[in-house]
Chains A and B, each alone.
Chain A
Amino acid sequence: MNQPRILLRLQDLSAGYERKAIVKAASLEVPSGSVVALLGANGAGKTTLLKTAIGLLPRLGGSCWIGDNELSQLSNHERARRVSWVPQAAESVWRYTVREVITQARYAHRGPFASLSGEDELAVQQAMAAMDVDQFSWRSLQELSGGEARRVLIARALAQDTPLLALDEPAAHLDPGRQIELMQLLRRIADSGKGVLVSVHDVNAARRYADHIVLIYPDGSVVFGDTESTLTVNKLDEAMDTRFIEGYDQHYGKFLLPMERLHKPPEAGNENIT
């Protein structure tokens, strides 16, 4: 196995809207071959931090390196060949087929005017096979279930063929079985050598499938570290404003359970302002 490369590095990055920082001084790294899970309460700024880290939102301060380049030095096109984005939900007005949706990601490689090359076709084909969406390639996104649509969006990111993938709560609204499936999928993507930065709500899924954890506290401060030392009851209590207890199952291993809400935060629910 090759020495892992650092695909994304944030140094004291501040993210927010209109000069109001929601996330303050975030420092973290996403090495190749790893899953980095982003956790925080609703409104803590998971989505904001993700979008800012990959250049979809202007940052308020700090530095951000994608591979060997500072983000501001990259053109939109260069950036799109280094990192792909999986939004929470698909936005499509018209009834494009699944194949057409996935093909759109090849824009990052061929630009606005060129038609599809053999390389493009191959990338689309491989991404569809990897996400097992072949069987509904001719259906439209609107006809798919939530889990299927999520897989299509991940296939789209895979077709973009970038070393780094950023995903915004891909497990949201999935049933427990499909959540596990999805996390295993992300694990496989990382094991193929890519870097995966993903926001999740499920503490145990993060424990089980991620290599590193980014924990966003209600005050906007950020802790980054390995899974074992970051996902502790004490840190979670503070970050989630919820009392967690630790348990052990001989099959599952160590697990963490939320028990009760500690106190109400002054302001809640400003996640997903775009």
Chain B
Amino acid sequence: MTAALRPRRYPLIYLMLALALLLSFLTAVGLGAVRWTPWAVARALAELVLGRGGDSIHVIVKLRLVRSLLAAVIGASLAGSGAVLQGLFRNPLADPYVIGSSSGAAFGAVVVLSLGLEVSFFGFSSIGGAAFLGGIAATLIVYLVAGASRIRSDAASLLLAGTALSSFFSALVSVILAIKDKNLHQVFFWLMGGFSGRGMSHLLAALPALLVGFIAAMASARVLDILSSGDESAASFGMRPARVRLIVGGFAALAVSAAVSVAGAIGFVGLVAPHLARRFVGPVHRRLIPASALIGAIMLLLSDAVARTAFAPIEMPVGAITALIGAPFFLYKIARRGLDGVR
């Protein structure tokens, strides 16, 4: 009476995604003012690992390596958090913006920038710190507002509160920009996101929070599956949905805030990557979260490569590239199958 197992080749899918990530990585590192093929980059990397090298390719690869590493890690965390948040809110439109953490983090960074409070020690900058705190604070406000309603922090009121608060923070940023017009370029960077001027120290400062976020996401994978059946059914299985949303959402906010504190508010990766991942591995979160992370890494690596090279030497904000690719993709999905298209 065992049901015939539908042949699903998940390991193969992960292998393909990992290979795609590797290829994207090598391609991204090879792109720039001087271009190399992925193969040449791979050889240069191997030589670097073996302690050889000293040619210009080695110097440049080393430089671009850090940046590509940043893009991959941030892309992975944004996409992984997006998958968690979509599961948590049972909503295919949820992304790191919906719990306010992205816009809160951008607001924090802009406040520090416009007040001229930039200090930095050991790679930990006050801007990054303010972005991190802004993201966490925004999420806290969202939870408090939604929790104040009679039906305690249900998915819909959290989504609404998050959306409203995001608009509020965006408005505050506009007001600050209107009053203080200096540093416009830097502010722009925080609002649209990017990796210029970011280095290993920024990544290392954020890495603990990103790792904790990812581990928490994987640990809550089963809980997110249960939550998909609705709060009432989840409660009938013995779960406390409101508490789960608080804890799991808190960890997601931690990861998102850390990511934004490194790279600014990059949109659409957290929204689109989980949708693509669901096509490959289905909705079960212990498969979905890693697949989303891989796809998010690929997306942001390639987007950053485009941002760097499309109008070189002028650099585009990477958030603009992800939105330019992500938004039409999303619209296409909706036009084809309505809300079902993005499920």
Contact = CB atoms under 8 A, between A and B. Distances in A.
A107 B91 CA distance: 22
A84 to B, nearest CB: 6
Interface in A155-188: 160
A53 interface: no
Contacts, number: 88
Contacts of B1: 125, 129, 134
Q: For chain B, give the interface size range.
A: 20 to 34
Interface string B209-240: 00000000001101101101110110111111
Interface in B271-290: 278, 282-284
Given A18-B150, A80-B238, A104-B225, A94 B278 contact: yes
Given A93-B92, A125-B2, A137-B3, A108 B230 contact: no
A96 interface: yes
Contacts of A75: 238
A100 B281 CA distance: 14
Given A99-B3, A112-B222, A56 B228 contact: no
A94 B275 CA distance: 11
A84 B226 CA distance: 14
Contacts of A54: 236
A94 B3 contact: no
A45 B144 CA distance: 32
Nearest to A85: B236
A72 interface: no
Contacts of A138: 3, 6
A79 B284 CA distance: 26
Nearest to B3: A137
Contacts of B64: none
A100 B237 contact: no
A94 B237 contact: no
B241 to A, nearest CB: 10
A91 B230 contact: yes
Contact of B232 (A77, A87, A96, A113): A87
B240 A96 contact: no
Given A94-B278, A100-B284, A129-B1, A105 B228 contact: no
Contacts of B58: none
A124 to B, nearest CB: 10
Contacts of B333: none
A56 B283 contact: no
B245 to A, nearest CB: 14
Contacts of B90: 93
Contacts of B91: 93
A75 B237 CA distance: 11
Interface string B93-108: 0000000000000000
A56 B233 CA distance: 9
B222 A91 contact: no
A107 B222 contact: yes
A92 B237 contact: no
A129 B282 CA distance: 24
Interface string A56-99: 10000000000000000001111111011101001111111101
B92 A96 contact: no
A105 B237 contact: yes
Nearest to B284: A100
Contact of B228 (A85, A87, A92): A92
Interface string B223-267: 101101110110111111000000000000000000000000000
Contacts of B238: 75-81, 107-108
A104 B232 contact: no
Given A96-B282, A128-B3, 9 more contacts: A56-B232, A56-B236, A91-B233, A94-B283, A99-B3, A104-B229, A107-B237, A112-B223, A137-B3
